[in-house]
Chain A
Amino acid sequence: MSLDALIPSAIDGLMLGFVYGLAALGLTLIFGVMRVINLSHGPVIALGMFVVYVLFTNFGINPYLGLVAALLFGLVFGVVEYLIAVDRVINEPELTTLLATFSVNLMIVGIATSVFTTTPRAVDVSLGSVSAGNVTILGTHAVSVLVAILVAVALYGFLFRTRIGKSIRAVANNRSAAELMGIDSRRMLALSFGIGTALAMVSGGLLSTLFSFSPLSGAGYEVKSFVIVVLGGLGNPTGALLGGVVLGLLEGVSTVFIPVSWVPVLEYVIFILILLLRPQGLLGQRS
């Protein structure tokens, strides 16, 4: 155990937690609005990585501008995915929609693997760093935190301040009542799926500036997203962001006290404890 590493590890974990939170926002939004457990979430995160990577390596587009492309591509991709794979089974039991999105998962992984192979890729971007003592804050990590916060704030503004956002929330609260009020619930559900997918792609794009990746990299982030969503409260966007920060911090700090290979064990112990003791999550309300 080395306390010299405690502060820098806590800061690293905290910063990464915001990106985890952003990834989980997409998952929780989709579940909150339509009760669909989106198993294509991980591969979509990986697709976001490759959108940024392809634009950067083939066209020289700055990775942070590439995030805008990832956002737009994610929105369209999500709407199309909803209309093709989810819409016709939206009223079926949750297992049916889960399997529908899992089939999309397999398709994305299969196609991406044959196009990009599983060779690791990296986006070579550096924004310098600031050091004080044994703490080093990387520019790429700081920008990722800023982008994650900006996107989360924009999402809240959209959901609470715009007519369409309010319509989405109405559909989430009571679909039948929303339809009686003249809201086209199918359109809102498709849009929500698109926004959730766009958030996952943006988080993937941000992660591509931090770590190496392959088409299979999304799986790990998908599992983390599920842990975060349960931690923060299923269907609760604020809880997802908070859950991400908590998980990131936990990953950072725990390595100082326990071997690195035990960190996932700790994460899943907490996951089980939350399910047992507070199934509604940190910010969820008891139903």
Chain B
Amino acid sequence: MRAMRQITALATAVGLLAAACGGTTTTTTPTATTAATTAPTTAPTVTKTLNIGFTNSQTGAQQVASTKQTEGIKLWVDQVTKAGGIKLKDGTVLMPKITFYDDGSAVDRVQQLYTKLINDDKVDFLLSPYSSGLVKAAAVLSEQNGKVMVTAGGADDATMESGFTNIYQVYTPASKYLTGAIDLMLKLDPTIKKIAIVNEKDSFSTSVVAAAKPYAESKGLQVVLSQGYDTGTADFAPFINQIVAAAPDALIGGGHLVDGTTFAKQMFEKGVKFRFVSLLVAPPEPTFADIGDAAQFIVGPSQWETQVKYTEASAKTLNLPYYGITVDAFTTAYKAMFNAPPSYHSAGGYAAGLVLQKALEDAGSSDPAKVKAALDKLDLITFFGHLKFSTETKTHGKQIAHDMVYVQWLKGTDGKLATQIVWPLEAKSADAQLRR
């Protein structure tokens, strides 16, 4: 009896260990017969686990946006699982399983953990961490190990111009972040002639202004000041004095959350008269409203907002297929699951999963070479917008179809500040306004 108990305990322990070790597991279940009168067919449904790995920033500077991105990925996994998995043409069903670790918003941790995901966890596909610097670190490892990675949360152009062959970018590249803001500004007030461009000196923001500056000049604008500031700069007052002395009509630039918020606050406090201000990253965040009236009229680019209007009808007008969930259904499901509205980071996370799902379905296989070929051909509209990847050698995988939307903080009839989409015109929820 005692020996029996020991054998049972040993078997249970081995079973638990095997379950804990994870890895690709395959189970075969017979499919139900389709008609009672016909003899049961024995075509089996092969269910496989699709291991997807990534890191997220549960701690450190990127925690907020990264958490939102992970929530988007979790929602995608939840919905695919509830729908019975990703069904391939040969009858195989892939059940997604995510493995992720905290990278602490640090590049060295990303390098260690992506190595672990590839070598120890043996994941089938990779998604990216959040923020351009971390994505770049993950992309190098992914490429070195021949793993397909769909990136959400990385807009830096430089990474996608490195000649990588396995990396696919969902976000609009950084070089397009402020070009739309310049178009909006000139549409609003064609008399604006002088602009100041300021930016955080990190890879992403530098990419943004490197493209925005020649674009502004090509539109006949005079760039009266163009300067960078260090990451972590807290006081912009002397900088603003210098910008005011250069007397621009408008200002574009910024960097990330904290610096962008402080910059807007201090410009307002100093009563600067710029007619148009567009800053990166910070304006789409709900807590941007903490600075009160200083937030009013500030424009910011966003990858996605809940008010966007990507539908099957809009896909038809472009003669493209629409794939996946609708904007409203995504927003509703996200709110139900996480009790908070989704941000563009959340939508980016979901979209990365969705793109991988579509490529797997098109490839009819989880073979990386076939999935890569499917990703190369992908050209569709989703709730996140138009997605298509470059197939040029130098820019392979770079996003070439997705467009930014621009939000502006405006006061509603109730006097409360809220973001409205003001650009592009076909997607606007309110008319843009100049600063007063």
List residues of A whose CB falls within 8 A of some B CB. 2, 4-5, 8-9, 12-13, 16, 110, 113-114, 117-124, 126, 129, 131, 134, 136, 138, 140, 207, 210-214, 216-217, 219-221, 251-253, 255-256, 259-261, 263-264
The smallest beta-carbon distance between B284 and chain A, in angstroms, is 12
Task: Say yes or no: B291 contacts A124, CB within 8 Å.
Answer: yes
Task: Say yes or no: A119 contacts B292, CB within 8 Å.
Answer: no
Partner of B262, one of A5, A12, A16, A211: A211
Q: A117-B63, A214-B258, A252-B237 are in contact. List 19 more A-B contacts (CB 8 A).
A: A8-B241, A12-B235, A12-B241, A118-B64, A120-B261, A122-B291, A123-B290, A124-B290, A124-B291, A207-B234, A211-B265, A212-B259, A212-B262, A220-B234, A251-B238, A255-B238, A256-B241, A260-B228, A261-B201
Scan residues 38-61 of chain B and give those whose CB is less than 8 A from a CB of chain A: 59-61
Most A-side CB within 10 Å, residue of B229, B238, B242, B258: B238
A118 with B227, Cβ < 8 A, contacts A9-B238, A9-B241 known:
no
Determine the chain B residues whose CB is within 8 A of the CB of A251 once the complex forms.
235, 238
Determine the chain B residues whose CB is within 8 A of the CB of A263 once the complex forms.
230
List residues of B whose CB falls within 8 A of some A CB. 59-64, 67, 201, 227-230, 232-235, 237-239, 241-242, 244-246, 257-259, 261-262, 265-266, 269-271, 282, 285, 287, 290-292, 294
Q: How far is the CA of A210 from the CA of B67 in the complex (A)?
A: 28
The smallest beta-carbon distance between A172 and chain B, in angstroms, is 31
Determine the chain B residues whose CB is within 8 A of the CB of A264 once the complex forms.
230
Q: How far is the CA of A255 from the CA of B235 in the complex (A)?
A: 12
Task: Say yes or no: A5 contacts B238, CB within 8 Å.
Answer: yes
A110 with B59, Cβ < 8 A, contacts A140-B269, A260-B227 known:
yes
Q: How far is the CA of A8 from the CA of B236 in the complex (A)?
A: 12
Task: Say yes or no: B239 contacts A121, CB within 8 Å.
Answer: no
> Which partner residue on chain A sits nearest B258 by CB separation?
A120
Describe B's contact surface by its main secondary structure: helix
The smallest beta-carbon distance between A261 and chain B, in angstroms, is 5
Question: What are 21 A-B pairs at a CB distance below 8 A?
Answer: A2-B245, A9-B237, A9-B241, A12-B235, A12-B238, A110-B59, A121-B287, A122-B291, A124-B292, A129-B269, A129-B271, A212-B258, A212-B265, A214-B258, A220-B232, A220-B234, A256-B238, A260-B228, A261-B228, A261-B229, A261-B230
Determine the chain A residues whose CB is within 8 A of the CB of B63 once the complex forms.
113, 117-118
Determine the chain A residues whose CB is within 8 A of the CB of B262 once the complex forms.
120, 122, 211-212
Determine the chain B residues whose CB is within 8 A of the CB of A216 once the complex forms.
60-61
A2 with B269, Cβ < 8 A, contacts A8-B241, A124-B290, A212-B258 known:
no
> Which partner residue on chain B sits nearest A121 by CB separation?
B290
Determine the chain A residues whose CB is within 8 A of the CB of B242 once the complex forms.
2, 5, 9, 255-256, 260
A119 with B61, Cβ < 8 A, contacts A138-B269, A256-B242, A261-B227 known:
no
Determine the chain B residues whose CB is within 8 A of the CB of A110 once the complex forms.
59
Task: Say yes or no: A252 contacts B238, CB within 8 Å.
Answer: yes
A119 with B257, Cβ < 8 A, contacts A110-B59, A261-B230 known:
yes
Chain A to chain B: the 8 pairs with minimum beta-carbon distance, closest first: A2-B245, A212-B261, A124-B292, A9-B238, A5-B241, A12-B237, A4-B245, A255-B238
Determine the chain A residues whose CB is within 8 A of the CB of B230 once the complex forms.
260-261, 263-264
A217 with B61, Cβ < 8 A, contacts A131-B271, A261-B201 known:
no
Partner of A118, one of B61, B229, B237, B291: B61
Determine the chain B residues whose CB is within 8 A of the CB of A13 once the complex forms.
237-238
